[in-house]
Structure 1
């Protein structure tokens, strides 16, 4: 995709001075919880609400956002870091109303970003500052350096769980590291592939109880439930968002409800001591010139 094509598809959009793009990380303690599927379909649903959305594939060494969408990018974040291409050359519009910043798969050089690369990415992302409403960051799983970095750079963290015990324990481990070592206090929780609302609430309550017992000052918001749905597997096989293929499916309806909930949030965009995406605008907003 050429620079000219990308610039045309995401034109400059002058947002109000006080408004900055909302940055939401979608994260998990372990793999296999459907985190990337949630990210892709959330991006789709927000775009259906009329928002300009970019989905950043931040699972840098094991990227699969493009696979779920049936796309074959010509460039990805590897080219940004190692070949000096512009962010707008990496940016790729999808047929589903949002754009992606694809990453590479099976490239060991991307498994741990250097401090310089992290700063380069933050600088490059300023291109999107006046062009989008949402940046969704699909992190890798676990508690490695890249996962922590992208979670800290977001304004809000959407923690994806399933009802499996390993999902619960690994989610707690991520919360613990983020809280004790990086002073992060708030997480939004979504239970995915839930067999029932009762089961979803039970696993959330177990996580909440563990945090209350062993960690102080943690805020866990029960944000949504996505039910187990055969339509999801079918959409994965067809490499399309399930919300686009089967909007009347139970999982699709719950994803749209989740998007509407997120769009209603009054996001706290203040700096918290951790460097953020679009930090320059955040800093200016907090400390206006006299």
Structure 2
């Protein structure tokens, strides 16, 4: 594995950094390629000139650092144990991508309280780094941590694949996010599809039941094809967009990143738990001055 490059003393890009666009990647079911989506979306945004931070919040089975060939000195587990500050966990990954790693095999990290999850969200207000966008790689399912981190983001991407349980569990996740956390907008990304039409069919199936029972605005973000080059990139511990830029999956990830770049940056706090809250407040004041 490559050696980590800790960011010892983060420096602001300016005295008043702008708001950070926060995108949470989630799935109802495990095994749909959610972490691969998070890694390659983050790397595509970084390569496009967006200063990007990738946060691993799969608190018990983290693997973002493994997928990028990084060896962290500190993880979120050390933060909660009081051994370091959040800033001490920052690694510089390929092409300048910033990574905050979680721990793997630490069962106590899956038993954190809701207050501790909210505390982690608030800790990012003190993280003094120049970042334009943050991608959150969540655990699969509907645990409190997933719900809190999705609620604290501006956009939620739900990853589905062509398995009945994937669509059923994705609906369950969206239902809980809507009814318990007030999430009203969801982006759907189909992964590992054999044909582009397959992705649209998966979305249509999910959208039909969602429109019938939930007050949620759904949007089809696109599809990532089943791609042997993606598997090879994972074996090499690299993002496919870097290892094999011409691969079909790489082209699809870059297209998804272009669409995500067009999403509106938050123009102020929404009145509940949010990442980088302090960066939203000055924007509101200046807009109303």
TM-score, normalisation: structure 2 = 0.92
Question: 1:68 Cα shift?
Answer: 0.7
User: What is residue 277 of structure 2 aligned with on the other side?
Assistant: 279
Q: CA distance change for structure 1 residues 75 and 145 in 2, over 3 Å: closer, same or farther?
A: same
Counterparts of 1:169 and 1:251, CA distance in 2: 25
Partner of 1:65: 64
Counterparts in 2 of 1:84 and 1:118: CA distance versus 1, 3 Å:
farther
- Asked whether the 8 Å contact 1:20–1:129 carries over to 2, the reply is no
Question: Following superposition, which runs of at least 4 residues in structure 1 exceed 6 angstroms of deviation?
Answer: none
Root mean square deviation, CA, Å = 2.2
Structure 1: distance between partners of 2:15 and 2:61? 34
Shift of 1:212: 1.1
Match of 1:111, SS state, is helix
Given that 2:7 and 2:87 are in contact with CA atoms closer than 8 Å, whether structure 1 keeps it comes out as yes
Aligned to 2:194: 195
- 1:175 is aligned to 174
Contact map agreement 2:267 2:283 (CA 8 A) in 1: no
The 5-angstrom pairing of residues 105-184 of structure 1 reads: 105-128=104-127, 131-184=130-183
Deviation at 1:117, TM superposition (A): 2.5
Runs of 5+ in structure 2 lacking a partner? none
Corresponding residue of 1:211: 210
Q: Does the C-alpha gap of structure 1 residues 82 and 199 become closer, same or farther in structure 2, counting only changes over 3 Å?
A: same
Could you tell me how far 1:84 is from its partner in structure 2? 4.0
Residues of 1 paired with 2:44 and 2:89: CA distance?
Answer: 23
**Residue matched to 1:23:** 22
- Tell me the matched-pair count: 286
Provide the residue aligned with 1:41 in structure 2: 40
- Deviation at residue 54 of structure 1 after TM alignment: 0.8
Alignment partner of 2:244 out of 219, 243, 246: 246
Cα separation, 2, equivalents of 1:31 and 1:283: 36
SS in 1 for 2:94: coil
Q: 1:263 aligns with which of 257, 261, 264?
A: 261
Q: For the Cα contact (< 8 Å) 1:21–1:129, is it kept in 2?
A: no
Structure 1 residues 267, 224: CA separation in 2 closer, same or farther (over 3 Å shift)?
A: farther
SS in 1 for 2:265: coil
Could you say what secondary structure the match of 2:23 adopts?
Answer: strand
| Match of residue 234, structure 2, among 233, 236, 243 | 236
8 A Cα contact 1:44 1:97, kept in partner? no
In structure 1, the gaps of 5 or more residues are none
